[in-house]
Structure 1
Amino acid sequence: MRHWFRSYWAEEDTWFYFEVDADGWVTRQVELQGPLQRPVVAASSAEWEAARRAGTLADYEAAFGATAESPVHEWDAHDPQDLPAAEFETVWRAARATCRARARARSAHEG
């Protein structure tokens, strides 16, 4: 069973949005930073793993970042706020679009 929540980290002025599986592992993660809530991460653990196997992990992380590396029940000092799946999906789609556009612009600039 999937679960969705968000948590705010004041020190970095960042909202973290998470989708976690039944065992507490993050399957998708979004990070929105600053007062404009600029997407800096929109990563999927399945995509990250596929990129690692394909040898394209650096490109994936440059575009989308990475998910948390431990299950949520091991985390300290976070105050999760439950989210409906639809709200997570809205944030996910917007963050992915921004990260994709930023990656394309970076690629065009480098090429």
Structure 2
Amino acid sequence: MTRWCRSYWAEEDTWFFEVDAGGWVTRQVELQGPLEKPIAAASLAEWEAAQQAGTLRDYEAAFGGTAEVAVHEWDPHDAQDLSPAEFENVWAAARAVCRARARTSTADEA
């Protein structure tokens, strides 16, 4: 069963997780500071595809990464359950920011 949760880190940072039945983070959003600036919105499936394609560096620069160990091995601090809709709203907003950042970085390199 999939689980969605939110956890607070480093006092002002907020992390959102989608966790599969095995305890692996399949999607992760990281918001930084009191303004909740999106710094990551990563998908495990996309991360694995980028790794296989040799584009992992670009993927991580744009979207970050997901936790590399199962949740039960590091236990998110004070995790609060979310509804799928709550997670999807945060995910969509963070992905939009990450995509825009990726486009800007690509344009700067050209």
Distance 1:98 1:84 in 2: 22
**What is the Cα deviation at residue 10 of structure 1?**
3.1
Structure 2 residue ranges without an equivalent (≥5): none
Contact 2:50 2:56 in 1 (8 A): yes
Q: What SS does the corresponding residue of 1:42 show, helix, strand or coil? A: strand
Contact 2:7 2:76 in 1 (8 A): no
Answer yes or no: is 1:3 the counterpart of 2:3. Answer: yes
Distance 1:15 1:42 in 2: 12
Partner of 2:99: 100
Distance 1:35 1:44 in 2: 24
Q: What TM-score comes out, normalization by structure 1 length?
A: 0.95
Structure 1 pair 101–27 and aligned structure 2 pair: CA distance change class (3 A): same
Partner of 1:73: 72
Partner of 2:60: 61
Moved more, 75-84 or 89-98: 75-84
Contact 2:29 2:91 in 1 (8 A): yes
Structure 1 pair 77–96 and aligned structure 2 pair: CA distance change class (3 A): closer
Counting only pairs closer than 5 Å after superposition, residues 10-29 of structure 1 correspond to structure 2 as 10-11=10-11, 13-29=12-28
User: How many residue pairs end up in the alignment?
Assistant: 110
Structure 1 pair 78–59 and aligned structure 2 pair: CA distance change class (3 A): same
Counting only pairs closer than 5 Å after superposition, residues 32-47 of structure 1 correspond to structure 2 as 32-47=31-46
Distance 2:68 2:56 in 1: 15
Distance 2:35 2:102 in 1: 19
Q: What SS does the corresponding residue of 1:94 show, helix, strand or coil? A: helix
Distance 1:109 1:89 in 2: 30
Structure 1 counterpart of 2:80, which letter?
A: Q
Provide runs of 4+ in structure 1 moved above 2 Å: none
Distance 1:81 1:96 in 2: 21
Partner of 2:83: 84
